A and B are shown apart, each in its own frame.
Chain A
């Protein structure tokens, strides 16, 4: 397994007759191992992610993920900013689900400061969170297809994203980083037409998703590429703290929205999708089914949308009293947790950000070992991760 260091450093082809003779005589007939870099500039890695793969022919002997190309040190930066500013900072962690990243911080503050959030704001938050989740999942639906060489789902997914994207843009003015949540509520009430647009978007997704799903899930080639490939064992998933669609694809029936409902998630009728086998197919299947569940939540939330204020009673200066709290939410990619330690200042004393992709990706070497190079791409694609979410 160890790479022959001398050979790796040696750039010239073998010319020495003695060495050739040695190779020919069979003393050295084993195939050479090659160190292959996948990333940071590789078409299949979303962002600057690097995988140092040792391959023998087409088989992966070892794979080490190398991260840190876009570490921004948010945990340090937040200590020099007040809570209002952090909202916009943390939404840049997982850039595909900006609004979901904002939530746990506000939940932390609302817990510590004992702020009551009005119902309308809570429902509104749920609508936006779930719409963002659909956006995120459709994105991975697209990219997983693209990685397996199916180009068409990409375009379909992007078309479906657009209507939802438009609704969010109407309300927040942003397409990726919304900055819409405030401690105690949301920034402002939504404009007229928002609900109609949002319903149009999610209903369209629900209506069309089955067809799109058939493009991949129903395809024989897709099944051959994904079933029984990259199996992640349930216990290993627990052990590494894997969460989100990846964990649920391994038969872990685990969703913060159901287990410990925050906001008003306990009032909606939705199911936690999970699949038992832990292979690429199951992970993808869970991801796709979750889009439908999210769409169902959005529909219910809009139907039951109460009227009233959108901001609770919040002091002028956001200043959390001294204390510690851990709040976790179900981000599209898994459990996002903020451990906030406050010493009573307007800035957090320490904010530990537990991002889903970090734990999810750390299990990769375990899953990749012994796989084929072609499967490696399928596995990387099925470990839905966002680089900003790993590196923070």
Chain B
């Protein structure tokens, strides 16, 4: 069907770069627009309606253009070098997460054999960027925001890592493709409860990791303006705050879809459903996760910083530790139920 094209490794790399550079901003724009619209409709209003004509689809493009024309202000007392470096430290990891997510059976930029490890590692690099931003701003709100962000991101890193460990135990591999392949049976439901609890823990911790409401204390506007990014303006603000936030939102949705919802596999292993290509399944599952995240935002008020820490250390982490033991016992003593 498709003529055999042979590409050199460098050409393949170029294609990969092109694909990622096309997909990541598009995903971000779509998710950002979805956020506007989903929230608006949940709140009985219309949301953006004018930019672009049809239901305001171009509102984020217009927004981006506006920010491009905005003055870039770095406060006098800020540490200029760290201040500008922070943008990169936040933005670059947000893009690099996408490298290892398997969109389809063979549609993956790099199928690392420690894919899940890479994913967890790279998604937590931005913590450093946020701390850099907060500290270098020499602003009190920024400092409080950065410290909150630091404490929160590391506290919720653990439930994510540990719930991912559960998945690794059940699938027996660190490669994301293998993990997806291992989910050709309803992973979420069987073995009883384990996957579901891990999924819930992962979702909650992801919301915290994304610093979205109800865990948005690091950027709580009614308390500390925009936290670490209070002093950022113009394009720099987009790159350090808005873009990574939405890009990470999609990334975590994709990770959730990959680890728990069976990635590019059909929801149930039925012959009829196999006809639908894998990336469609993947996109649907990711969209579902994104909607879940968007749904949570207008529903809850914000927690307080100490309550959030308590929730992580006293609820989520003990639960996942116990889950690991249960999953281990299950794999060892009832393996026939798995495969």
Contacts and interface: CB of A to CB of B under 8 A. Distances in A.
A277 B209 CA distance: 35
B44 A149 contact: no
Interface string A135-157: 00000000001111111100110
A36 interface: yes
Interface stretch (B25-33, B98-106, B173-181, B220-228): B220-228
B292 interface: no
A372 B43 contact: no
B306 A152 contact: no
A149 B213 contact: yes
B12 interface: no
B144 A373 contact: yes
Interface string B270-308: 000000000000000000000000000111111111110
Given A374-B217, A374-B304, A149 B222 contact: yes
Contact of A375 (B140, B217, B304): B304
A58 B306 CA distance: 10
Contact of A222 (B42, B221, B298, B301): B301
A36 B141 CA distance: 8
B43 A221 contact: no
A272 interface: no
Contacts of A374: 217, 220, 223, 304-305
B225 A221 contact: no
Contacts of A381: 222
B314 interface: no
A139 B223 CA distance: 19
A115 to B, nearest CB: 46
Given A222-B301, A224-B303, A373 B214 contact: no
Given A155-B45, A216-B301, A374-B305, A149 B214 contact: yes
Given A159-B44, A374-B217, A377-B223, A58 B144 contact: yes
Contacts of B221: 43
A71 interface: no
Contacts of A11: 77
A84 to B, nearest CB: 41
B134 to A, nearest CB: 14
Contacts, number: 79
A360 B44 CA distance: 34
A376 B42 CA distance: 29
B56 to A, nearest CB: 17
Nearest to B45: A155
**Size band of the interface chain A makes with B:** 20 to 34
B35 interface: no
Contacts of B140: 34, 36
B216 interface: yes
B222 A152 contact: no
Contacts of A225: 301-304, 307
A150 B213 CA distance: 8
A211 B108 CA distance: 46
Interface in B115-159: 140, 144
A60 B39 CA distance: 34
A42 interface: yes
A216 B220 CA distance: 18
Contacts of A221: 214, 300-303
B268 to A, nearest CB: 34
19 contacts: A43-B225, A44-B222, A44-B223, A145-B301, A150-B301, A151-B39, A151-B43, A152-B42, A152-B298, A156-B43, A156-B44, A159-B44, A221-B300, A224-B303, A225-B304, A372-B304, A374-B217, A377-B222, A377-B223
The 10 closest A-B pairs by CB, nearest first: A149-B302, A150-B301, A44-B222, A148-B301, A155-B43, A152-B298, A147-B222, A374-B304, A377-B223, A222-B301
Interface of A: 11, 34, 36, 42-44, 58, 145-152, 155-156, 159, 216, 219, 221-222, 224-225, 372-377, 381
Given A145-B301, A149-B213, A150-B300, 6 more contacts: A43-B225, A58-B144, A151-B297, A219-B300, A224-B304, A377-B220
